[in-house]
Amino acid sequence: DAGVIQSPRHEVTEMGQEVTLRCKPISGHNSLFWYRQTMMRGLELLIYFNNNVPIDDSGMPEDRFSAKMPNASFSTLKIQPSEPRDSAVYFCASSYGTGSYNSPLHFGNGTRLTVT
Amino acid sequence: QQPVQSPQAVILREGEDAVINCSSSKALYSVHWYRQKHGEAPVFLMILLKGGEQKGHDKISASFNEKKQQSSLYLTASQLSYSGTYFCGTDSNDYKLSFGAGTTVTVRA
């Protein structure tokens, strides 16, 4: 299995620009999570999808952030406009079943975002 | 709400043991443990479900006390490969994991 695939691995952009992060979950997994990791705040859950439907987006920091999952094999996280405080590593993770109760999360390699 | 992990960091010599604790202020339905090496993604170690079970993965084991809303991860006879940051993730029946701040483990030869 190829695992969770994220792109790009690194993204450097200027403040005010739009950024789109991409994720391909493991085939057959029906739960998808976007996490953000920083030294200050650790791993924060941004949004959770189940069967392509957003279930909980309470972690999305502001309206500048949006996420979509148009089908079972693709999700995007968009930041528009980006700000320096958005600099972080963004992880996508997928699991089988409903959420995380009894199923491991499989993480992608992450996208390191730097906003200057 | 994030679970609380302790200690923040621990330094071990090969062969020594360590315990990492994870506690929550909310009722827990499951606890996950992950290990993250520098510059890499977190990797799943084990899940513990309600019922106070104990699990093991090689010489790494864990316990879950649902009444106390606590879990502990035990590193036994540590190896160099055990170095990394360990995270507990807790599920309070809301289908999502909240992660602790992590415990950095350094194993030296």
* Minimum-distance CB partner of A100 among B40, B41, B97: B97
pLDDT exceeds 70 at position A87: yes
Find the mean pLDDT for residues A37-50.
94
Query: How close B5 gets to chain A, by Cα (Å)?
Result: 12
What's chain B's length in residues?
A: 109
Three-state SS for B41? Answer: coil
CB A10 within 8 A of CB A26: no
Instruction: Tell me, yes or no, if A52 comes closer than 8 A to chain B by beta carbon.
Output: no
Rg (C-alpha) for chain B, rounded Å, is: 13
pLDDT exceeds 90 at position A17: yes
In chain A, how long is the greatest CA-to-CA distance?
A: 40
pLDDT exceeds 80 at position A102: no
- Do B30 and A102 lie within an 8 Å CB cutoff? yes
Position A80, amino acid: Q
- Do B95 and A101 lie within an 8 Å CB cutoff? yes
- Report pLDDT for B52: 61
What's chain A's length in residues?
A: 116
- Do B44 and A106 lie within an 8 Å CB cutoff? yes
C-alpha A54/C-alpha A57 separation (Å) is 7
Query: Which residues, 6+ apart, have CB-to-CB distance to B93 below 8 Å?
Result: A101, B27, B29
pLDDT exceeds 90 at position A88: yes
- Report pLDDT for B94: 75
C-alpha A70/C-alpha A46 separation (Å) is 18
Task: Give the tens place of pLDDT for each residue, B23-81.
Answer: 999 988 899 999 999 999 999 999 998 776 666 667 899 999 988 999 999 999 999 99
Contacts of A31 in chain B (CB under 8 A): 95
Query: How close A82 gets to chain B, by Cα (Å)?
Result: 23
- Report pLDDT for A100: 66
C-alpha B50/C-alpha A83 separation (Å) is 41
Q: How far apart are the first and last CA of chain B?
A: 37
Q: How far lies A99's CA from each of A11, A40, B28, B31, B104, in Å?
A: 29, 26, 14, 13, 27
- Report pLDDT for B53: 65
* Minimum-distance CB partner of A100 among B41, B91, B102: B91
CA atoms within 13 A of residue A17's CA, in its CB half-sphere: 13
Find the mean pLDDT for residues A53-63.
92
pLDDT cut 70: percent of chain A above it: 97
pLDDT exceeds 90 at position A66: yes
CA atoms within 13 A of residue B104's CA, in its CB half-sphere: 6
- Do B95 and A106 lie within an 8 Å CB cutoff? no
* Minimum-distance CB partner of A91 among B41, B47, B94: B41
